[in-house]
Structure formats: structure tokens, C-alpha cells
Amino acid sequence: MPDHALKDVFDTADTAPDLTPPAMTPEPIGGPGAWRGPDMAASDAWIEHLSTHEIAEIDAAIRAHQANNLGMADIRPETFDLPTLGPRLKKMRDEVVNGRGFVLLRGFPVDRYSVTESAVGYLGLGSYIGGFRPSNAKGHLLGHVRDIGLNIKDPTTRYYQTNRGLEFHTDSVDIVGLLCLKTAKSGGASRIVSSVTLHDVIRERRPDLWRALFNAFPTDRRGEIPPGMKPWFDVPVFNWHDGHLTTMYVGQYIRSAQELFPEARRLTALETEAMDYLDALCNDPEFYLSMDFLPGDIQLLHNHQILHSRTDYEDWPELENRRHLLRLWLAPDNGRPLPPVFEPRYGPLTPGDRGGIFTESTKLTFSLSPT
């Protein structure tokens, strides 16, 4: 990540809300990104499998990384050679960015890697998808999704640090990747839904609510506040920009902003109904795809067109067996143009160098600890 990234984000100050009427989609969108869950569940076209030869390439790249005494910050395609798998990963990235919006890569051999080796290999694969971005205020470029016993009622706690179910939402980066190291005793299924499909359905069924979702919604930062910024940011759920529908939505944090910040704009009854309607569609089996992770699965999601969630889970009593995912937030250099309203959350909007969480105390690091 360029050294100027933190400064550039700090230099982006909050401004008065833009009252210009939002641009709305002129017609239903459709296309490969407008899929429905049952259709995806009936197909395995979205599942990619690592071959024996590709796994051997990963093994060799990890050994080379160790032999050359490289750090995780040194990992990039030039230092993590994947002659066959690398070009294939670029094709997967293009499917995520320009196609259905997601892919599941199966067969990463976590069973014979240490956590450090898994992290190195995962970062190596991720470097072919995009630049690493911090997923929390601590600056973790390698994140951990694990229940560490925090209380979600604490306004600084994020749901991935608990075993609570996550409502459908997007993350503040172009692509999120999850590598499954360990599964829960029960529960913890991943669910995803196409925001393109939801947009088209709401546009047809409830055009009044569709229009409301193009308004800017105050969204809680959960205490991860860049200098000069409010503890919330304002962004529409649906954004029509440069021929793309781009979605940003974290309903739980929109609602908490209403509870915690009296200065934040109050939602209208129509906007609240629009959120409830969107949530209901997300949770309708007609639309979402559910997948149970296996150890070694890597899920890649395009946040601009996919909302994701997780069901509650029960974990194993033994610490070493507990559910554990490694997370990457990635900024591909072929990312779509984003609307200016994203700047208070994403910082600079340059593809390959945008998104992530930055505060004054953020120090970019690759952590091997979930805390």
C-alpha cells in the first residue's frame, strides 16, 4: 500500500450532505450479476477446484518465501510465483468484478499447513486479486473472523468478533475474501444475495421504496473514526454511477446510528420501511444462496453487487478447534468507478488503492492473532 494512503484518507474531511437529487437507474439492470439463490444452488459453475499441480505451485511459493526470509509485507505476485494458478486467479477476479460477483475456490490445503503457512499462501493468492486493505482500525491487513468473547452491546464491537449471526451487509472495500481454517460445531453458514436482483425486484414491486434507497443513510462507524470525520458516514444504499449499480448497506449500523447519534439525520418512515423490505428480500430463500464452508474453502465476494450474512453458530469447547476464518479486504486495479459519495468511507477512489478502515492510530500490520 502506498505510504501516502493514511495521509490521503486523513485529508478527506466531512462535508455537508449533498442535496442534489440522486441519479437512479433508468431501467432494470439484469445481466450476469442478477442471479437467484435456487438457480445458483442447482449449479456448481461458481465453485472452482485447485488442481494437484496448482497446490504444488502454492507449496513451492511458500517454501521460496521462507527460504528468502521474506515478510508478509513483501508478498506480491512478483515474489509469490504461481505460473499456472496466477493467470487463473486473474480470471476469477474478473468474474467477481464483472460477472456474477462471487466465486468459491476449494481445496487450499490448510490441513497440512501451519497457521503462518496458511496465511502466507492465502496472502500470495490474494495478491493476484488486489491490493491489501485494513479491515479494522488496528490496521490488520490479514483479518481474523473468530468469536473472541466480546459483547456486541459494546458500541466498538463488530459482529465478526462474536458468534452472533450477521445480517446481510456489504463491507467497505471492493472485494472481501474469506479462507476457512476451522468450522464451527454447528451453524455459521454463509449466505449471499445479489443486490442487482434485489434492486430490480424492488424497482418492480415497490417503486416508492426503490426511490428511497437512493437517499443517503447515516451509518455508524462503530468507533473507527478517521480524524476530522463524524462517528457516522452518509451514503445511499443504491448508487447509480458511470453505468453501474453500486450498493453499500449495513442495516445494523444504520439503525445503531439512529440510536447513538441524535445529530445524525432522522430516517423517514418510508426509508425505514424500505430497509425492512430490503432485509426481508435478503432473507427470502427465493433470493439468497447458502453455502457451508469446508476447511480450505476461499470465498471471494464483490461488495458492490453482493450482500453477505452469516447464521448464528455454536463453537467447539476446545480453543484449537474453534471456528476460524482468515479475511482479506482487497482492492483490484480493475475496479469499477465509484461515486464521490463513497469518499468519506473509502478515502481516495483510485482503483487498487481505496477502501478499508483508517483512523489516526491505524498501523498497517499482518496479524496472526484474532485479537
Distances (CA, A) of 335 to 93, 124, 129, 196, 306: 10, 20, 11, 17, 15
Number of H helices, E strands in the chain: 10, 18
Residue 185 has pLDDT above 90, yes or no: no
103-120 mean pLDDT: 97
Residue 156 predicted with pLDDT over 70: no
Dump pLDDT digits (tens) for 38-91. Answer: 999 999 999 999 999 999 999 999 999 999 999 999 999 999 999 999 999 999
Domains of the chain: 35-347 (3.60.130.10)
- Distance, in Å, from the CA atom of 148 to the CA atom of 161, rounded to the nearest integer, reads 6
pLDDT, residue 254, reads: 98
How confident is the model over 210-230, as a mean pLDDT? 96
β-sheet with 289-291: strand ranges across: 166-169, 306-310, 190-194, 289-291
* Per-residue pLDDT band at 5 (split at 50, 70, 90): very low
The Cα 39–Cα 286 span in angstroms is 9
Torsion of CA 273, 275, 279, 280, to 10 degrees: 20
Provide the pLDDT confidence category of residue 148 given band limits of 50, 70 and 90. low
Measured on CA atoms in the order 322, 368, 370, 288, is the torsion positive or negative?
Answer: negative
Averaged pLDDT, 359-365: 95
Q: Give the pLDDT mean for 332-353.
A: 97
Has residue 241 got a pLDDT over 80?
A: yes
> Does 19 or 332 have the greater pLDDT score?
332
Which pLDDT score is estimated for 319? 75
Q: Are 247 and 239 in contact (CB under 8 A)?
A: yes
Q: Tens digits of per-residue pLDDT, 283-293?
A: 999 999 999 99
Return d(Cα 299, Cα 330) in angstroms, integer: 12
Lowest mean pLDDT segment, chosen from 133-142, 227-236, 313-322: 313-322
Please tell me the predicted confidence (pLDDT) of residue 251.
Answer: 97
- Provide the pLDDT for residue 10: 41
Q: What is the pLDDT of residue 299?
A: 98
Which amino acid is it at 105? L
Mean pLDDT confidence for 256-277: 98
Q: What is the pLDDT of residue 2?
A: 44
Average pLDDT of 285-302? 97
Residue 4 confidence (pLDDT):
38
- Higher-pLDDT residue of 159, 230: 230
Q: Minimum mean pLDDT among 5-19, 148-162, 357-371: which range?
A: 5-19
Alpha-helix residue ranges (DSSP H) falling in 17-51? 37-41
pLDDT cut 70: percent of the chain above it? 89
pLDDT band at residue 167 using 50, 70 and 90 as cut-offs: very high
Long-range contacts of 205-210, Cβ-Cβ distance < 8 Å, separation of 24 or more: 206/274, 206/277, 208/270, 209/270, 209/273, 209/274, 209/277, 209/278, 210/24, 210/238, 210/274
Cβ within 8 Å of residue 226, ≥6 positions away:
9, 10, 12, 358, 359, 360
SS3 category, 143: strand
Enter the C-alpha cell of residue 166: 450477521
- Mean pLDDT of the residues in the chain: 91
Over pLDDT 90: what percentage of the chain? 80
